[in-house]
Structure 1
C-alpha cells in the first residue's frame, strides 16, 4: 500500500488518454497506483463513438510499466483519490458522479459539467482556488479552445479589466479522437493522390 495518491485515467486508450499517459511517464512520479479504464461493451450508457471494445484488456505503457486497461465499472473507483475523465459527454455524465460517490475527486474534460453551478470550471493558471469548492466532487475543464487562450486572457484581464471578447474558433480534428485523425489522413491522401 502506497502513501501516494491513486490515479484513475478514464478513457486511457483515446487520443487524449494516450497523450496523458505519455505526460505521466515524463513528469515527476507523484502517483501510487495508476489505473487505466476504458468504456467496455457492458458499460452503460455506451456512447456512440466510444472507445473500441478491444480497449479493455489491452496493455499500455505508463511510467515504464505495462498496465492492463480495465473495464469502466463502479468498483474500479474503490480506493481512487483522483480520476481524470476524458470520455464523451454522456459517459462522463453517468460515470463521473459514480466515481465521486466512491471518494475520488473527478477532473472531467468533457462538456457534461461545464455549466453546472455545483461544478467549478478550473484553469489552474487562472483560478486554482476554485478547485477547493466542489460540492459534487467534480472539477470541470474548459473546452480546448478556451484553454489555449485563457491563460493569456486571464493575465490581460487582471491587468486591464477586459469586458468583452469576440473571436472565431476552428476546431481541430483531434477532437474526434483516433478515428477522426485517421479519417483526415485518408482524405488528405485522396486529395493528394497518394492513395
Structure 2
C-alpha cells in the first residue's frame, strides 16, 4: 500500500484527510508529518501549500500533500484568508480567532455575511519528473456559505461552528460544526479540492 505524508502537525486535518482519501483511494495510506515546520511566508493559499508540501517531501522522501485553507469573508475583502489560523495572533488559538471574527462582524446584517471556505491542496512527488526532479500539482476547492451570529455545534474545528454552508438538503441552516464527520468529508472545501486532485494521483 502506497504512503503519502500530509504536511501538517494538526491531528484533526490528518484524520479528515485520511477519511477523504479512503473514500476514493483506499490503496493510499495518509501518514502524519513529524518533521520541522517551514515558515509559511506565502501570500496565497497555493504558495503556502507548496511550501509545506515541498518541505515534507524533502524531509521524508515520500509523496507529500499539503493543504492551506481558511475562511474568506466577502465584506472583509476576503480576510482572514491566508491569515485564518493566526487571525487573533500567532498562538493559533482557534477559539480566539472565531470570537474575534464574530466581534468584527457583529454589526453586519445577515445578507452581507457571505463567506467561503477555501482549500488549496499541493501534491509534491519527489523524483517523479523525467529529469529526476519533483512533480508538483496544485488544486483548489471552494465551499460557499455565510457566517452565523453565534457558534453552534461541537463537530469539526477552526471556524466550522460559525460557517453555514449553502445548499443544504431541505433548506437546513446548520453550521459545519453541526455536520457529522461523514457529511463534512463529502461536502467540504477539502473534499472538493481532493476530488480535483484524484485524477493526478495515478503516479502514486
Question: TM-score w.r.t. structure 2 length?
Answer: 0.30
- Between Structure 1 and Structure 2, which shows a larger proportion of strand residues? 2
- Between Structure 1 and Structure 2, which shows a larger proportion of helix residues? 2
For the pair shown, which has the larger CA radius of gyration, 1 or 2? 1
Q: Which protein, 1 or 2, shows the higher relative CO under an 8 Å CA cutoff with sep ≥ 6?
A: 2
Question: TM-score w.r.t. structure 1 length?
Answer: 0.31
